[in-house]
């Protein structure tokens, strides 16, 4: 699908647009009326006929969620496992990688806080080593340093494609080529990417990819997913087993479920699953390439606008940048800037030093104010936001 987006209609179908300037889509985006209705209907059905019975009735919608996510990433429905957030999806993948003393995990400085904590715990438990590959001069993961660091002890490359803490877009497909050449498992955190930029697992060359529903996909809170390449399954030992992920074989053993289903748990919020499916379908129908062009353009416009303000400096790294924009206002703590914007009807958030351990160690710039427009954001909203930030900066001088 090509051509201009009908932003006015999309905004009319987004209740939150009426009240606030929502620049916190990297936190949780605004849901559409369609998604809201799909979830409300399912909840109503659960209350009316019973939760299990409602899940049976919603079978087609539930299957459609797997199909939509598969289409979004370029995989097949059986390669998708559903979770209640991206962290649990990522943990299901990471804790399933068999590791022994001396094995190496390679990662980059943009890695998400919870993943870093998991690396540290697993390194303590197993004796594996975590190697943080440096950035190149632009702030992306250094591909030459990564290629040089891969050796016979390397079991996993873990990369965050777009960090929680800035507009950087890491060269995920180039990392994939290095991983495939070396035959090393590649776990890609696409939490801030899904719904924002196009995703194609074939081009990326990853074995495992995780995403969340509530951010740029505009799904409900409490949803996430894992995509698993079928030929990676034999190299993974799922970290938990239960009645959804495996079947007792009548003896003292069990059989894993087919495909990615072996990472799932039995109980689920089907209200959320149906809502997630609705949101992903909407993203696909709008055309991810098309919405990506708009969010990138809005991000660039906001960055330019903020950088032009006296006393304001943006801190986004890399050559390829997305809709996440981070900035500091001289003399005003990030939380105060965010609070002042909130009072004036603008939703933003701030980065957290402890959630960006390797980046904090290296750059030490956090906390920053984080602005994240979506395709339903207007240029006027961005101009208003920049004017408010300019006023905050002026008062601080
Ligand atoms: C890059 C990145 N990875 C992982 C996560 C965790 O996602 P979730 O909160 O859905 O578990 C986040 C959340 O902000 C994130 O920004």
| Burial environment of residue 195 by CB neighbours within 10 A (0 to 12, 13 to 18, 19 or more) | buried
- Residue 3 pLDDT level (bands cut at 50, 70, 90): confident
Are the beta carbons of 44 and 274 closer than 8 angstroms?
no
State in Å: Cα 120 to ligand 1 middle.
Answer: 18
Q: CB of 189 closer than 6 A to ligand 1?
A: yes
Q: Is the CB of 191 under 6 A from ligand 1?
A: yes
The response to whether residue 166 sits with its C-beta less than 6 Å from ligand 1 reads no
Average pLDDT for residues 100-115, to the nearest whole number?
98
pLDDT over threshold 80, residue 277: yes
**What pLDDT does 25 receive?**
98
Predicted pLDDT of residue 379: 98
Query: pLDDT tens digits, residue range 34-47?
Result: 999 999 999 999 99
The span from the CA of 201 to the CA of 131, in Å, is 25
Summarize pLDDT for 157-213 with one digit per residue, the tens: 999 999 999 999 999 999 999 999 999 999 999 999 999 999 999 999 999 999 999
CB of 112 closer than 6 angstroms to any ligand 1 atom: yes
pLDDT in tens, 302-327: 999 999 999 999 999 999 999 999 99
pLDDT band for 2, please (50, 70, 90 cuts).
Answer: low
Ligand 1 contact via 164 beta carbon (within 6 Å): yes
The overall average pLDDT reported for the chain is 97
What's the pLDDT band for 116 if we cut at 50, 70, 90? very high
Is residue 109 within 8 A of residue 358, CB to CB? The reply is yes
Q: Is the pLDDT score of 95 beyond 80?
A: yes
Q: What is the mean pLDDT of residues 53-78?
A: 98
Mean pLDDT computed over 285-309: 98
User: Which of these, 114, 230, 205, 105, lies nearest to 156 by C-alpha position?
Assistant: 105
Q: Are strands 369-371 and 349-350 parallel, antiparallel or unpaired?
A: antiparallel
Judge whether residue 347 has pLDDT over 90.
yes
Residue 336 has pLDDT above 70, yes or no: yes
Q: Which of 110, 192, 225 to mutate to test the pocket of ligand 1 (most atoms within 8 A of CB)?
A: 192
Q: Which residues share a beta bridge with 148?
A: none
pTM of the model: 0.98
As a whole number of angstroms, the distance between CA 369 and CA 127 comes to 37
Three-state secondary structure call for residue 254? strand
| Best probe residue, ligand 1, of 118, 164, 196, 211 (max atoms within 8 Å of C-beta) | 164
Give 9-28 pLDDT, tens digit per residue. Answer: 999 999 999 999 999 999 99
Where residue 222 falls (left for φ over 0; alpha for ψ -120 to 50; beta otherwise) is: left
Asked if residue 1 has pLDDT above 90, the reply is no
Q: Does 205 contact ligand 1 (Cβ within 6 A)?
A: no
């Amino acid at each position: 699908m090509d051509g201009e987006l009908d932003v006015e209609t999309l905004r009319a179908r987004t209740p939150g647009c009426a009240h606030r300037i929502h620049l916190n889509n990297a936190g949780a985006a605004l849901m559409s009326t369609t998604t809201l209705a799909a979830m409300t209907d399912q909840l109503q059905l659960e209350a009316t006929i019973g939760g299990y019975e409602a899940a049976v009735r919603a079978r087609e919608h539930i299957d459609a969620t797997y199909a939509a996510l598969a289409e979004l990433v370029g995989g097949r429905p059986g390669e998708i496992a559903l979770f209640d957030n991206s962290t649990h999806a990522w943990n299901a993948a990471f804790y399933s990688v068999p590791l022994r003393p001396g094995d190496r995990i390679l990662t980059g400085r943009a890695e998400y806080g919870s993943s870093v904590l998991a690396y540290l715990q697993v390194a303590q438990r197993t004796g594996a080593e975590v190697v943080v590959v440096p950035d190149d001069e632009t702030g992306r993961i250094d591909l030459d340093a990564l290629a040089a660091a891969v050796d016979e002890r390397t079991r996993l490359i873990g990369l965050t494609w777009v960090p929680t803490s800035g507009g950087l877009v890491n060269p995920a497909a180039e990392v994939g080529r290095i991983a495939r050449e070396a035959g090393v498992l590649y776990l890609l955190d696409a939490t801030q990417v899904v719904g924002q930029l196009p995703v194609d697992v074939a081009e990326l060359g990853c074995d495992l990819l995780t995403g969340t529903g509530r951010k740029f996909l505009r799904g409900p809170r409490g949803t996430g997913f894992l995509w698993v390449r079928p030929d990676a399954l034999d190299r993974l030992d799922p970290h938990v087993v239960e009645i959804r992920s495996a079947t007792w074989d009548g003896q003292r053993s069990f059989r894993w479920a087919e495909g990615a289903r072996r990472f799932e748990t039995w109980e689920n919020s089907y209200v959320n699953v149906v809502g997630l499916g609705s949101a992903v379908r909407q993203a696909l129908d709008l055309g991810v390439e098309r919405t990506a062009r708009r969010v990138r353009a809005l991000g660039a416009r906001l960055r330019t606008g903020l950088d032009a303000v006296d006393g304001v400096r943006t801190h986004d790294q890399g050559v390829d940048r997305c809709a996440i924009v981070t900035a500091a206002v001289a003399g005003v703590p990030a939380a105060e800037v965010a609070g002042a914007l909130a009072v004036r009807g603008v939703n933003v958030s701030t980065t957290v030093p402890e959630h960006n351990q390797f980046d904090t160690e290296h750059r030490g710039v956090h906390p920053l104010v984080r602005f994240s427009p979506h395709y339903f954001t207007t240029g006027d909203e961005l101009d208003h936001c920049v004017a408010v930030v300019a006023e905050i900066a002026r008062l601080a001088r």
